[in-house]
């Protein structure tokens, strides 16, 4: 199955971005994960157009983004991974 790794850079930590990703994924019945990295929020999701469905928190500011296509085993749900990786 096709999944996409989306890395969002800018003011992305401590603003609720991972929870906004979780809500959007649940609303659209998508699978994957959201986690903080040292300098970004990484979202892995089975929808190339996920960013169009994401309602950014008011304090978030995206200055850069990358999207990479992945071949992964299917996730069964969407989860937040705690911690910084």
The enclosing domain of 11 has a CATH number of 3.30.70.100
Domain that holds residue 12: 2-84
Question: Domain tally for the chain?
Answer: 1
CB-CB contact of 59 with 11 (8 Å): yes
Residues 21-75 pLDDT 10s: 999 999 999 999 999 999 999 999 999 999 999 999 999 999 999 999 998 877 8
Q: How far apart are CA 4 and CA 47, in angstroms?
A: 7
pLDDT of 14-35, one tens digit each?
Answer: 999 999 999 999 999 999 999 9
Q: What is the pLDDT of residue 50?
A: 98
């Amino acid at each position: 199955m096709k999944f996409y790794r989306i890395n969002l850079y800018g003011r992305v930590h401590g603003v609720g971005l991972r929870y906004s990703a979780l809500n959007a994924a649940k609303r659209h019945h998508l699978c994957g994960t959201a986690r903080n990295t040292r300098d970004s929020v990484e979202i892995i999701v089975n929808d190339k157009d996920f960013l169009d469905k994401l309602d950014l928190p008011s304090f978030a500011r995206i200055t850069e983004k990358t999207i990479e296509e992945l071949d992964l085993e299917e996730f069964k749900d969407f989860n937040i991974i705690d911690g910084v990786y």
